[in-house]
Amino acid sequence: MVGAGVVGLAIARELAMRDREVIVLEKQDAIGTEISSRNSEVIHAGIYYPQDSLKARLCVAGKQRLYEFCADHGVAHRRIGKLIVAAAEKEVANLNDVWAAAHRNGVTDVEHLTIGVVREIEPSVQCVGALISPSTGIVNSHGLMLALQGDAEDHGTMIAFLSKLIEGQIEPDGFSLKIESGDGTSPADVLTLGCDVLINSAGLGAQDVAHRISGVPETSIPPLHLARGCYFTMSGKSPFQHLIYPMPDGASLGVHVTLDISGQTRFGPDVEWIDTVDYNVDPARGDAFYEAIRRYYPTLPDNALQPGYSGIRPKIQAPGEPAADFVIEGPEHHGVPRLVNLFGIESPGLTASLAIAEYVAQLLES
């Protein structure tokens, strides 16, 4: 399989625990260096996604599996809950819509809060209405990936770092893969590897990998649109006890408050459509953050924010289009036996990772 991010590692673990021999090709020199390590580290409840979508189903199922996995493997996590706040009267009706969507998805612990309760549990937050999602939490994403890697390797998985898929040819009994290995400081080695099953979980590179496999119909490969999201941090003791989310805006959940495992406050992500992978954070983007954050946290001090980091989402919808579902395609979709392609695995991919892994395993067995 291709890709050693959190989803790829979860799939490798699942397949290895089903007694498959698994080799993971990873072009970087470490696990999870792209999408998996550049996100909010939130365990999502499964609230916003359309009913019966893969995102809804796999997030709700994956959330419970993830909490159990973290508890069993000593992965740092906290079920701290999330407030979804309406900052203006015109947003209250949308708050009701979010409540209804959550309950349709089986997230029945989401409830309305009175303003008095909001003031009591989050005195720094200003709003005219709010929901609470008690099952939302946070996780140390790197610790999670290390635990998944450990389980996978304990069951025989091998991870080949600095290994890039150059070409894949379909053979009668599987695939012949041409792989380039090396760190760029010396001439690369090119070798050929045979496999009976191929999983493409390459994240930002999933479309490129799919194009390199002969016989995959072009029509089965969705376009890739890069959406960079920047995070800004705030030093000092956090004024928040919960995650704070404004009302969602189209395909974005807005500039929200998250806390990391150590308790540091960070705000983000915003959305910036870009043409090439670039993780630079422009400090000037912080100006728009102040305006967005002060809608629900009006006492945010001037000069309180510092550039943090950025992540890039592998969107499969263009700017202005509705948010797309996960695309997880087995042979019945593209016609190539024993191949599974995963596209557009953005949020809630981390939360859903263990459920995605089971879904992929079932695709291979169907």
Q: How far, CA to CA in Å, does 241 sit from each of 125, 234, 247?
A: 11, 15, 19
pLDDT in tens, 173-190: 999 999 999 877 777 799
Q: How far apart are CA 144 and CA 148, in angstroms?
A: 6
Domain(s) of CATH 3.30.9.10: residues in the chain: 82-134+224-315
Q: How far apart are CA 59 and CA 46, in angstroms?
A: 5
Two tokens, residue 141: 């994403």
Average pLDDT of the residues in 129-136: 98
6-71+141-222+324-365: CATH architecture: 3-Layer(bba) Sandwich (3.50)
The reported pLDDT for the residue numbered 251 is 55
Sequential DSSP letters for 257-290: EEE-TT--EEEE---EEESS------GGGHHHHH
User: What is the phi/psi pair of residue 38, to 5°?
Assistant: -130, 60
pLDDT in tens, 32-67: 999 999 999 999 999 999 999 999 999 999 999 999
Domain(s) of CATH 3.50.50.60: residues in the chain: 6-71+141-222+324-365
Q: Is the pLDDT of residue 302 over 70?
A: yes
Average pLDDT of the residues in 249-267: 85
Residues 6+ apart with CB under 8 A from 43: 63, 66, 67, 77, 79, 136, 137, 138, 139, 350, 351
The reported pLDDT for the residue numbered 207 is 98
Query: What is the pLDDT confidence band of residue 252, given thresholds at 50, 70 and 90?
Result: low
Two tokens, residue 157: 């998985």
Q: Is the pLDDT of residue 250 over 70?
A: no
pLDDT in tens, 5-17: 999 999 999 999 9
User: What is the phi/psi pair of residue 153, to 5°?
Assistant: -70, -35
Specify the DSSP class assigned to residue 249. B
The reported pLDDT for the residue numbered 185 is 75
Q: Is the bond into 319 cis (omega within 30 degrees of 0)?
A: no
Two tokens, residue 203: 């994240």
CA 74 to chain centre: 21
Q: What percent of the chain has pLDDT over 70?
A: 98
Q: DSSP H helical segments within the chain, as ranges?
A: 6-17, 54-73, 92-104, 115-121, 141-154, 206-211, 286-293, 331-334, 349-365
CATH top-level class of 82-134+224-315: alpha beta
